[in-house]
Amino acid sequence: MYVITARVTVTEGDSVTIYTNVTTTQQDEILWYFNDIRIAVITGDLSRICTDVQCNEDTERFRDRLKLEKQTGSLTITDINTTDTGLYQLKIFSSSSISEKTFSVTVLDSPDKVKTISVKEGESVTFNPGVMTTPIDVMRWYFNDSLIAEITGDQSKICSDVQCKERFRDRLTLDHQTGSLTITDTRTTDSGEYKVLIISHILQNSVSVTSLKTFIFTVIDSGLSSAAVAGICAGVVLLFVTAAAGVIYYHKRLQAGQNNITAQTSYQAGHLQDFSLRSDPEMSPGGKETEDASETSL
């Protein structure tokens, strides 16, 4: 029976770091277990370092998603998923003692990590990172991988470089309480990929969680005048009327063709019947009487 040192709940797709809060010496050996399966080992002199399948051939659960910090032996799990839910046990062997810690990690299903948003040019938009249940140590907003806003502790800053200032020109607002980023008077050049990186330290700095959320943003050009819009609408109506007239004309031609075929078929049938009557003596008018008269004269 394990004594749980700490419990942490994270969202699928996050990166989680569990800290040892020690500095290794050459005599130390640090081992990590997941549900009693060894997943990582590091020695103080770095003579032995392994993670996942390198430590245990029977486990391929993490598949290169584990990282060990060489100085402390802290373990990071990247792109965590629901199957990573379980107990993570830390064992530290030193020359004088053995210490153990057990962390219970629960991974919840993730809401959409990527959202698509579009507005018309000139409108405002707000990117909301979501409900924050833990204190935020660092939050960074990126536009096409360039840093445009940041919250660090109680401090926040927007557009610290010249390029960002020229692009947005005082049109960015950062809400320090929610972390939401707002762009006013949007332009087509604002279209692109916006990312928010959130780093939180919890449980007396025993665990840190890193989350990443992406917004695909499109600004629709609203430069069409009313006359242009009206012209487009009129063109669409005209196209519809023309298409409808074509369909009606086609159906009339098709019906007329069917009537001609019916009349021609009737005419051919009557002609064939008349020819058949003339060819058969018994069926032709007076044919039988003529034959009897010939026999009498003989």
CATH of the domain at 73: 2.60.40.10
Q: What is the DSSP letter of 281?
A: T
As a whole number of angstroms, the distance between CA 10 and CA 2 comes to 21
First-to-last alpha carbon distance for the chain, in angstroms, is: 133
Q: 225 — alpha (psi -120 to 50), left (phi > 0) or beta?
A: beta
Shared domain for 132 and 47, answered yes or no, is: no
Provide the pLDDT for residue 212.
92
As a whole number of angstroms, the distance between CA 54 and CA 60 comes to 9
What mean pLDDT, rounded, does the chain reach? 78
As beta bridge partners, residue 45 has none
pLDDT at 1 over 70: no
Is residue 12 a contact partner of residue 65, using CB atoms and an 8 Å limit?
A: no
Instruction: Kindly report, residue by residue over 47-56, the tens digit of the pLDDT.
Output: 788 888 887 7
Measured CA angle at 152 (ends 149, 156), to 5 deg: 45
Shared domain for 99 and 168, answered yes or no, is: no
Torsion sign across C-alpha atoms 266, 268, 269, 273: positive
What is the pLDDT averaged over residues 180-189?
A: 95
As a whole number of angstroms, the distance between CA 123 and CA 220 comes to 10
What is the pLDDT averaged over residues 173-201?
A: 93
User: Which tokens is 66 given?
Assistant: 């584990």
Shared domain for 34 and 101, answered yes or no, is: yes
User: Which tokens is 18 given?
Assistant: 């569990």
Asked whether residue 270 is assigned to any structural domain, the reply reads: no
Shared domain for 100 and 153, answered yes or no, is: no
pLDDT at 274 over 70: no
Shared domain for 130 and 93, answered yes or no, is: no
Provide the pLDDT for residue 168.
93
* Domains in the chain, number: 2
Torsion sign across C-alpha atoms 15, 54, 60, 89: negative
Q: Which of 278, 296, 265, 120 shows the shortest CA–CA distance to 191? A: 120
What letter represents residue 274's amino acid? D
User: Which tokens is 1 given?
Assistant: 């029976």
As beta bridge partners, residue 99 has 92
What SS3 class is residue 154?
Answer: coil
What letter represents residue 52's amino acid? D
Shared domain for 64 and 152, answered yes or no, is: no
Provide the pLDDT for residue 156.
87
Provide the pLDDT for residue 110.
80
What distances in angstroms separate CA 145 from CA 15, 176, 194, one per listed residue? 19, 21, 8
Q: Which of 208, 14, 11, 206 shows the shortest CA–CA distance to 103? A: 206
Which of the listed residues 171, 188, 222 is the one where a domain comes to its end? 222
As beta bridge partners, residue 212 has 197
Asked whether residue 278 is assigned to any structural domain, the reply reads: no
What is the pLDDT averaged over residues 117-132?
A: 90
Asked whether residue 265 is assigned to any structural domain, the reply reads: no
pLDDT-derived band at 178 (thresholds 50, 70, 90) equals confident
33 versus 71: which is more confidently predicted? Answer: 33
Is residue 216 a contact partner of residue 193, using CB atoms and an 8 Å limit?
A: yes
Domain containing 11: what range?
Answer: 1-111
Q: Kindly provide the b/e burial profile for residues 176-198, where b requires at least 16 CB atoms within 10 angstroms of the residue's own CB.
A: eeebbbebeebeeebbeebbbbb
Torsion sign across C-alpha atoms 6, 197, 128, 195: negative
Which of the listed residues 197, 222, 247 is the one where a domain comes to its end? 222
Shared domain for 98 and 138, answered yes or no, is: no
Which of the listed residues 111, 137, 154 is the one where a domain comes to its end? 111
pLDDT at 71 over 90: no
